[in-house]
Amino acid sequence: MRVLLTGATGFVGRAVLGRLAASDDLEPVAAIRGHALPDCPSRVVTVRTAGLSAATDWSQALDQVEVVIHGAARVHVMNDTESDPLEAFRKVNVEGTLSLARQAASLGVRRFVFISSIKVNGEGTPLNQPYFADATPAPGDPYGISKMEAEQGLREIASTCAMEVVIIRPVLVYGPGVRANFLNMMRWLDKGIPLPFGAIHNRRSLVALENLADLILTCIRHPAAANQTFLVSDGEDLSTTQLLTRMAKALGKPARLLPVPSVLLERGAQMLGKKALSQRLCGSLQVDISKTRELLGWIPPVSVDEALVSAANYYKERQR
């Protein structure tokens, strides 16, 4: 089976590409822009493209392809400098995605797996009231809106042709090579910096990179995945305090967590204009993956602690 992967140079894309290359019955094709892929497996065919836009010609990349895994996107960024962020996201995440999908359908691609985002559901949940895959979307920012509109367009395309669409909405992804806030937390713990996060009683769903890659590979093959939307997580929700404690253990360091009430942290963050960061640290965001488990018979292959150890080892070897 010939499989085209977009976004192959990204954090998730590199892991998925490795899984594709390790499967003897798959012929992976990676769409790349600019320089060659570092450490690219020899079995992978690389095709250069002009990026993700409505004008991109995908005919060469789609040659003889049966399945597309579409991970390329304009990603969510803090403090976006675009004058019209929604329009910038739409050009790439909506117009670019739907152009690729239409070309794929016209060339006989059997299945289109779209890596969306939990931001389509919303920005957070009340404690122990998780998002469900088939709930009404309620995106709260331009990135989430663009992903929702791409999903809607893909469903419309699927309704008019034989190509099946599978939508996967990941929560926060972590693993070897993770960056941003997750990497910062590892650095703080590694340096022994006291952190005021010892009394946070929220719940957040996370997904290990290996678990997400495993589900994506499942969705390119499983008959029941056709035209479905799935949420994905590790199946264990953690408070920020629990996450930091277990992350410190994976690093072999003590967790120096001060029991500052979360309400004080939230007020302080708002005064400093860091409301979004406060939501990530103190708020809850939980997902229910029962549909993913039951319809696909899927079980996350890696536990939270195993995944944290992998991330910590990579950090100690390469990012410290």
Active-site positions read 143
Asked if 199 contacts 260 with a C-beta cutoff of 8 angstroms, the reply is yes
Asked if 183 contacts 320 with a C-beta cutoff of 8 angstroms, the reply is no
Please tell me the distance from the alpha carbon of residue 317 to that of residue 11, in angstroms, as a whole number. Answer: 17
Structure tokens at 12: 């998730």
What are the b/e assignments for 78-92, b being 16+ CB within 10 Å?
eebeeeebbebbbeb
Question: In this structure, how many other beta carbons lie within 10 angstroms of the beta carbon of residue 192?
Answer: 11
3-state DSSP assignment of residue 265? helix
Parallel, antiparallel, or unpaired: how do β-strands 67-70 and 2-6 relate? parallel
Q: In sequence order, what E strands does the chain have? A: 2-6, 27-32, 45-48, 67-70, 111-115, 164-170, 172-174, 206-208, 229-232
Cα Rg, the chain, nearest whole Å: 20
